[in-house]
Amino acid sequence: MDTGIMGWSSMDKVLALIWQLLHFFQAFSLPCSRSPSSVHMQVAFQCFPSRTDHFYTLLLGNKVLSSTTVCEDMCECVMKFRAPQVSEELGFSLQSHNDTELLDAKTFHLAPLVASSVRMNVSSTTVVFNWPTLDDGDVLDVCLDEQCWVASHFQPFHQVTGLQPGRHYNISVAKKTFIPHLQINVTQSLQLAIKTGQCPVGWLAVGWSCYKVNPSFMSWSGAKQACERSTPGSHLANIKTYAEFLSIISFLGSYNHLLLLWTALNDHKTEGDFRWSDGSTYNLNIEMTSALAPNQTGCVAMQKNATGAGYFFTSFLCYLQLPYICQEELLQSSSEWLYLESVCETEAAFIWSNESHLDLSAGFTLALQSEDESKAQTVSHMALTNTQDPVRVQGLSPGHVYHFSLVLVRPSGVSQTLGPIFFANTKPNPPQNLTVTAVTSSQIALCWNAPDSTHNARFEHFILHWVDLVSGRGLAIHLEKLNRSAVIGGLKAYRAHRITVVSVTAQGVESSDSLSVTVITEVSPPRRVSADAVGLENMTVCWWPSLHEEVDQYYIKLHPQTNQAQTREFWVNDSTCISLTQLKSGGTYEVGVAAVKGRNMSVVTTIQQTLSMIH
């Protein structure tokens, strides 16, 4: 709600202000932003234009991002704020000012760090990071819990192993940029999250696979069919890496009675050429023995070492009845499945794309899972289909943090999160009923009501920010949530100021800035009005003009302190004194002086003066 323009006295001033607003006022916030995510930024700089104490403000366009600066003894200053994650560069202005004027400004452009700059391929026990859009010379500091490394154009990927299946992991990404000609250091940071794939209880999770030991006895072909019938995509185990082999033999340690188990390895097509079920060749450096004649094809089982630890591979006749081990593979896809389009106070909108053409009719289920960070163990699901339209999740609480993920579940119970976990910060409800209570030439007083608190809405504090629409100078202050009024001081006289009050969450997410008002400060009144030459029937009244402000004329009001006397009015154009004559000897007069600019008049400054008596 825009409560309007306060203080105009003529239509021409209204039109002039509208032009100023179009020329000066820009903001990136929308009632429901299409770039809902934000990146944390920290700007470090030296005091400027001198080493004396100044105030500093950082603006994006004409929106005040921060007026809170921490400066150390050596005059090294730091500002922290949030900026929108967008694909294009953003223009920032770092302003230095004192109580009354803008002293200097440094402008710079910067591309925000976006979540899509880091790609993650997550299995049940590993994650592979890559950064295809990273430019030469740029580096990222990446951490997964306590493991940290540096990402650069020369190291295009990084793998982390040894993760626990079905576990949530936090990831931090930071990018540092130095702007040499301004001597400004900018650090951007993002918080991301992943969840590893999960196998059903009793299964073994290794990388992109889930393994299930079946103790029932079957021939190799019977075991092959049993695995394939159990769930779409399941098959006898292909054990292609030494890490998988070690994990499986460690897992088999809990099955002391299993001496032999069928695997998918066989030489059915060419005798002696052992291949897995997907056609790949056997290339492990693990002993393989055979109980077959040289001219017989066979099927390969894992055999427990009777004289030592572990297992090895042995080729047997395929009709032998043995236990077997099935394998079900997680979906490996680099597709971008889910896009967070927008977040409002009570709604999040997503777009999802089935680029891998996942056949959900085969018993797979795909759901959008949401979790309120403030409510432990509270998770809701929304089932998706192949032809799903853009998904809107409604009924969210304003000012909360939600985790959204796209979860694929197979009939066997194997589940995985496709892509990263999205952090969605719903906007807090905005303050209500912003009202201007008083305006002077240098101050504006306001009050407002607290935001709507229904639907378990939250916020932490208010930010009051304002911009002089002529100079572009902006400021912002933080106010406690119980503080619902403020007086803005140190303003220029007869200037239009855009004032906005927003509520802010603990994560720094601001409400929509729709609660704003444009106010014009009054004309400055004359200073030091005095009667300099007082006679019997006359006196000369003088005043000092306002500093740094030109006026059109002065209005003088002469009011005798008698009931019968008539008030007289005067207008002075090019002087700061006026001679008042034809007065009554010994009379007491009230003289008021006001400055006039256009059709706007300042408050009247008054004095009282008694004339001399005739003796």
| CB of 28 closer than 8 Å to CB of 61 | yes
In a domain, 13, yes or no: no
Same domain, 157 and 190: yes
Same domain, 301 and 350: no
Domain that holds residue 281: 209-329
User: Within 10 A of 503 (CB to CB), how many other CB atoms are there?
Assistant: 28
Q: In this structure, what DSSP letter does residue 397 have? A: P
In a domain, 325, yes or no: yes
φ/ψ region of 357 (left if φ > 0, alpha if ψ in -120 to 50, else beta) reads: left
CATH number at 416 reads 2.60.40.10
Decide which of 195, 229, 263 is a domain's last residue: 195
Same domain, 480 and 542: no
Decide which of 195, 227, 261 is a domain's last residue: 195
Same domain, 264 and 225: yes
Share of the chain above pLDDT 90, in %: 51
What is the rounded distance in angstroms from the CA atom of residue 64 to the CA atom of residue 346? 25
In a domain, 131, yes or no: yes
CA atoms lying within 13 Å on the CB side of residue 177: 18
Residue 25 has pLDDT above 60, yes or no: no
Same domain, 143 and 163: yes
Q: pTM for the full model?
A: 0.77
In a domain, 482, yes or no: yes
Decide which of 425, 442, 476 is a domain's last residue: 425
Least confident range from 240-244, 377-381, 431-435: namely 377-381
In a domain, 508, yes or no: yes
Residue-wise pLDDT for 371-391, tens only, equals: 998 886 567 778 877 666 678
Same domain, 213 and 322: yes
Read off the pLDDT of each residue in 561-578 and give the average, rounded to a whole number.
87
Read off the pLDDT of each residue in 553-563 and give the average, rounded to a whole number.
89
339 vs 594, more confident: 594
| pLDDT of 581 | 92
Same domain, 346 and 450: no
Residue-wise pLDDT for 30-54, tens only, equals: 445 554 578 999 999 988 888 776 7
Q: Annotate 198-221 with b (16+ C-beta within 10 A) or e (fewer).
A: bbeeebbbbbbbbbbbbeeebbbe
What is the rounded distance in angstroms from the CA atom of residue 573 to the CA atom of residue 298? 113
Total domains in the fold of the chain: 5
Residue-wise pLDDT for 262-302, tens only, equals: 999 999 888 888 999 999 999 999 888 887 777 777 899 99
| CB of 172 closer than 8 Å to CB of 143 | yes
In a domain, 59, yes or no: no
| pLDDT of 16 | 40
Read off the pLDDT of each residue in 104-123 and give the average, rounded to a whole number.
92
| CB of 343 closer than 8 Å to CB of 33 | yes
Same domain, 374 and 325: no
What is the rounded distance in angstroms from the CA atom of residue 299 to the CA atom of residue 130? 39
139-144 and 168-179 strand pairing: antiparallel
| pLDDT of 134 | 84
Same domain, 499 and 543: no
Residue-wise pLDDT for 155-203, tens only, equals: 889 999 999 999 999 999 999 999 999 999 999 999 999 999 999 999 9
Same domain, 277 and 351: no
Mean pLDDT, the chain, integer: 86
380 vs 560, more confident: 560
In a domain, 539, yes or no: yes
- For 180-334, list the strands marked E by DSSP: 184-195, 204-206, 209-218, 235-236, 260-266, 288-290, 299-304, 311-316, 322-329
CA atoms lying within 13 Å on the CB side of residue 110: 27
Residue-wise pLDDT for 129-155, tens only, equals: 999 888 878 899 999 998 999 998 888
Same domain, 346 and 410: yes
Torsion of CA 111, 93, 497, 24, to 10 degrees: -60
Read off the pLDDT of each residue in 57-64 and give the average, rounded to a whole number.
85
Q: Which amino acid is at 245?
A: F
Same domain, 324 and 228: yes
Torsion of CA 259, 265, 267, 269, to 10 degrees: 150
In a domain, 97, yes or no: no
